[in-house]
Amino acid sequence: MQLKHLGWNDRLAQHFAPYAQQGYGVGRVAIAHRDQYHLYTDQGHCTAVVSGKFRHQAHSIQDFPVVGDWVVMETQTHPAVIHGVLPRTSQFTRRAAGTRTQAQIIAANLDTIFLVSGLDHDFNLRRIERYLVMTWESGANPVIVLNKADLCEDIEDQLSAVANIAISVPILALSALTRDKIADLDPYLQPGQTVALLGSSGVGKSTLTNQLLGKAVQATQAVRVDDSRGRHTTTHREMLQLPSGALLIDTPGMRELQLWTAEESLQETFSDLEALAQSCRFRNCQHQSEPGCAVQEAIAEGRVPMQRLQSYRKLQREQAHVQRQQDPLAQRNRKKRWKAITKSMRQNRQG
């Protein structure tokens, strides 16, 4: 197995050069469990664990290897011992589920992300917008894959609706079940390219994976008839080698997908609204009831749906909330400001 077939390049070789001089080897993470990793190397597959020093020096869970990472390892032991992670070129990150404010990296070093959505009862434009924001933030290139075209009677209308919210993003409609138009994915599945499948449960990621592999590797289940919701069939993230020479990362369906850092990506995803806002009469226009609001004018004329503006505002609020939680000082300042406002209001009432 040659490293170039795993996505190795000159940039990675440059970062690895000092470790190579010390006799270390390199591998790429195919599966990441809590305490053990499965790696692809130029010698084939192997298992590995992180060293005690690595674990001690890690500042957060984000420092640990994830699927798609390139790791520096000692190969003379079994299992191999991981001593470092080479710098990532991209990483898809979400806010970890639960109450703690912590990032969770889903996969790293991705060239392309297939955002898979089903053309059935679970079709959701707002969800696609959210995935787009997070994909732009990852550093990878998004491609929207509309699966289950065999179940859709108004494909052109759905394609048009997605095109209106996915500015300049490739959009492909296909059927993984019947293999119709599946060849449209080929340009993104070239040797050494790394592609991740992301989408909610039931959109057909496992079926698509099996078709691209040419064999049934991932388990599949039927979705519920009433709402097309699926159950988790993929239980862990895994990087698979395709016959085309590309590397495909299949991921479990994500019911909870909260933003982590996405300020610039919000502007990228909603570039149509950002462009309209430049024509508003007031620079700090909130696009509500201000006179001369170009955004509200576009909504009134039917050029932009109100739901898109509502989605933008929701994601902005979510991002601001996460930022406040990430920055304790900002949180303290916010509390101090509200205390001052409350105090002022009480004094005014007393006066």
Q: Which residues are annotated as a binding site for GTP?
A: 147-150, 199-207
**Residues 6 or more apart in contact with residue 277 via CB below 8 angstroms:** 285, 287, 294, 295
Question: What are residue 113's phi and psi, to 5 degrees?
Answer: -120, 120
HEC profile of 12-75: HHHHHHHHHHCCCEEEEEEEECCCCEEEEECCEEEEEEECHHHHHHCCCHHHCCCCCCEEEEEC
Task: Tokens for 231, please give them.
Answer: 């159950």
Residue type, 19: Y
What are the E-state strand segments in the chain?
25-32, 37-41, 44-50, 70-74, 80-85, 91-95, 103-108, 112-118, 141-147, 171-173, 194-198, 238-241, 247-250
The DSSP output letter for 137 is H
Please state the residue numbers annotated as binding site for Zn(2+): 280, 285, 287, 293
DSSP structure string for 274-297: HHHHTTSSSTT--SSS-TT-HHHH
DSSP structure string for 195-207: EEEE--TTSSHHH
Asked if omega into 291 is within 30° of 0 (cis), the reply is: no
Please state the residue numbers annotated as binding site: 147-150, 199-207, 280, 285, 287, 293
End-to-end CA distance of the chain: 80
Contacts 24+ apart (CB under 8 A), 221-225: 223/118, 223/120, 223/122
CA–CA separation, 36 vs 1, rounded Å? 22
The DSSP output letter for 88 is P
Task: Tokens for 335, please give them.
Answer: 């509390």
